[in-house]
Chains A and B, each alone.
Chain A
Amino acid sequence: METGLVVRYSKQEIEENLEAYENDAGKDKEHTLYFVQKDAIQNSIDAKVDDKDFSVTFELLEHKNNRYLIITDTGTTGLLGKGIPKDIESDEEAVFEYLEKDKNEKWGRFETFYFKKGEAYKDLGSKGRGKLIFLAASVDNKIYFDSLRIDGTYKFGGIYYEGGFRRLIEKEGDESKKRLKENLPFLDPLTKTGTRIIIVNPYAYVVEDFKNLEYYIQETWWLALQKGLKFYYKGFDGVMKEVRPNPLLNFDKINESRKIKKGPGKLKKDTEFGYKELVIALADSPLDEPLAGIYIQRGLMKVSSFIDYDIDLPKENKNRIYGYIIFDEKTEEEFRNKIEAITHFAYNTKSRLGKIIDQFLEENIEKFAELKGLLNDEGAGQNDRTAIVVQNRTNEINRVLAELGIKGGFGPGPSSSQSSTQQLSEISLQLIGLKENNAYEPGDDLTFNAKIINRKLEPSGPYYVDINLYKEAVAEQNRIETLFSGTYAKLDIDKVHPIQNIKSYKFPKRYKGKYIIEKTITDKNGHEVYRRNEILWVGVPPELRNGIFQIDLKHEKRNNFLYEPHYNPEENKYIININAEHPYYKKIEEYKDDELIAFLTDFIIANSVSFVLATEPDRFADTQFVKTNGSFPEGPTEKIFEIERKNLALLLSHIQG
């Protein structure tokens, strides 16, 4: 078996490359699969021959204690070329010259880290370091690849680490088929034109992340999916599934009143840069972060979301705005060659084109937000306090219902919860002696001890340990007191390090509400190795996690919708959407009368009970209800104050048994 050098590959390059992905995509290496899918599919689409036969399939396989992540494309040209000739492989200049000469030498490019210093942003597609991400996904730093090319030839190869990066050099045809069988006996040579990449022993987090693969592809390749390109995935369960388009991203289907569509036009007057199409749309409810923002498209690929814009919008509204921009050919070429990052996850926003794009999008988003009445000035942001009251009221009702055995969520679960999650981490700081459920009364003393257990970190410090007490929120201005601040020169592994002499605190008689103990451990470099919060409930009942009702505030310009309940089977909860744009709601908010807001919440929940009864009569089988005439009045909003509250109270008292 002949092997050779891989030009310019090194462990350091692989690591730096992975870091670049992490930074540009804003995800850590546990999501390497997110990076892998993007590069793999991009390579395949670049080599696409026609849409009809095109597909990319991701598979997980296990064979004799080894695991494999296999990516296969069809309907592509295959990885053309002979590879780097052995006799020139140690002469970088000669290699680069060889590759420059033959644009179709794709195999050779795959075996090379092929770009010169200072050319990082030039012609990346052909010189990309994308394949380095495949090696970064492998515990062994090992990949195989084979290809049935459009000229009918078959070739097998591989790259692995053995003191340095090496490559397999195989002759096309039968020899290659033999090598495939020797190295990967469970695979047969490809029968359809295309390329297959086999990542040997992917990291456990890559395998774990496989459950998110569909979501990743849906997001990155939404346009390709709209155009009917096919992607498949198969986990260890062996069931082949097709990636479905995310219905939220079917922009054509979005009602005209909720989107704008522009183009073609110029990005900026008197410049050469233009775009084919810009779509900005408004989603019903806030989208997950990766889906929000305007997608900067390069071809079928989403490069990034433009969301970091400087418009005064409440976050929930910001995350409802999404859309995409497709550049004209000339601009796209400039984008790809000059400003797109090597990772394909970002672009140089400091470049002239980058600045023009950002400015163009910002202006258009602002206009759109204004048009849809989303800007802060129009009051969308003022409902913070109302939301808190609604939430508190909902908690209260949930609690009463929970006591009657009517809970949401699945499994036993505690009826009250602490908001801290004590996961097994490398180091932990546990508080000892807090009251049950972290529930205190005003005037109570807060006294406790604590211990540190170091499970994995380097024992020698110094380590700085802080325990701070806050009111309502962890923010400097909310800090009540530092309860403990100390330095530990050494923290031995698996030994209990007690913390004593923690200051005690007396909760003032007049303050009820949420208090937070913040626990941090910082290492000698200033890096926070541990940070957890412990929530204390003083004079108020602990928040309920598994309440049956959950209120979601929405901003909809639909006056005929004040609230809508629906059942969410995944969480076994009733979600009640309240329309914060409804005149009743707005009016109530304007008065900032907490009692009135609580009353509205009661009313809505009480009415939602009839929905619950209709959907699931068994749930309230043991609870008696009486009918009431407490209906919501029509007419001027002022009239809402005339509602007979006692009717509602009656209803609620019956719900509460």
Chain B
Amino acid sequence: MKRKIENGKVVKYIRLDYFSNLEVETAKELDSLIVNKLKEILKKLKQAGLLDNKKHDLAFWYILGKGVNELIESDEFKKLGIPKYDLKGVFEGIENAARIELHIFENLKESERQNTFLRNHIYRAYKLAQFPEEYVKKVGSWDTWREFLERPIFDRDPMLLRKLLDSYLKKYNKQIERKTAREIIKLVNKKLKGYNTRYMPTDVLDKIIEEIIDTVG
């Protein structure tokens, strides 16, 4: 949690510091949008009985992610004019608000504050919820998804991830274990190193994907 020393006393940082790039008014507005959305999300999580569990599972992250997507797609949010590349502050703000206001994530360590935000919990949930719910369940657990979602190569080319997952599900018709996910990623990094997958001829890419999926079986 963020704290600051003022006159010798420790005071809680207000969340606005995450939005220090914004005008104060905008930051305040964003803050209230976030808190309202989180309350909505919290209600849904409670209804689904997902708040008792200490460890947050796939369903938890999906509901959270869905809510974040709704927030970012909402007209009120769009009006604030926050560009996509500056969503990092928003995600950090959501995480912080969730901790302070809603007392969730207490068992979760803070997201690492890196230049890229692939390892931000909220960003991962946001990305997860962009897949259909049924599909998400079919693929595997949150641990498996996390592996995929934090890799730059899939962030850059989401179609590549979709193709790989489709190919795996088609061939084996079962969930992907975390270990298998790691193996797939390892092979992707090895076989596609130096390639820009978006420009690869489809047949060549498909063949490599097939090889990768065959290998991990």
Contact = CB atoms under 8 A, between A and B. Distances in A.
A471 B85 CA distance: 7
B110 A382 contact: yes
Interface size class of A (residues with CB under 8 A): 35 or more
A524 B201 contact: yes
B21 A475 contact: no
Nearest to A473: B115
Interface in B37-95: 83-88
B201 A382 contact: no
Interface in B179-217: 179, 182, 186, 190, 194-201, 204-205
A310 to B, nearest CB: 7
B105 interface: no
A510 B21 contact: yes
B144 to A, nearest CB: 13
Given A471-B85, A511-B21, A525 B116 contact: no
A168 B89 CA distance: 71
Contact of B155 (A310, A382, A476, A510): A476
Given A475-B116, A591-B3, A526 B109 contact: no
B201 A526 contact: yes
Interface string A617-657: 00000000000000000000000010000000000000000
Contacts of B3: 590-592
A227 B109 CA distance: 46
A522 B110 CA distance: 38
| Interface majority SS (helix, strand, loop, mixed), chain B | mixed
Interface residues of B, number: 40
Interface string A9-27: 0000000000000010000
A586 to B, nearest CB: 14
A335 interface: no
**Which of B4, B85, B86, B116: most chain A CB closer than 10 A?**
B85
B196 A526 contact: yes
Nearest to A479: B85
Interface in B2-55: 2-5, 8, 21-22
A591 B2 CA distance: 7
Contacts of B21: 510-511
A377 interface: yes
A178 interface: no
Contact of A475 (B87, B155, B182): B155
Given A381-B112, A592-B3, A477 B123 contact: yes
Given A480-B85, A525-B200, A525-B201, A475 B194 contact: no
Contacts of A382: 110, 112
B5 A473 contact: no
Nearest to A520: B196
B192 to A, nearest CB: 9
A308 interface: yes
Given A23-B190, A310-B179, A525-B200, 12 more contacts: A470-B85, A472-B115, A473-B116, A475-B152, A475-B155, A476-B155, A477-B123, A479-B84, A479-B85, A520-B196, A526-B197, A592-B3
18 contacts: A381-B112, A382-B112, A384-B113, A471-B85, A477-B155, A479-B85, A522-B196, A522-B199, A524-B201, A526-B195, A526-B196, A526-B198, A527-B194, A528-B196, A591-B5, A592-B2, A592-B3, A593-B4
Q: Considering the complex of A and B, which 8 residue pairs feature the smallest CB-CB distances, nearest first?
A: A526-B200, A473-B115, A475-B116, A522-B196, A476-B155, A472-B115, A522-B199, A526-B199
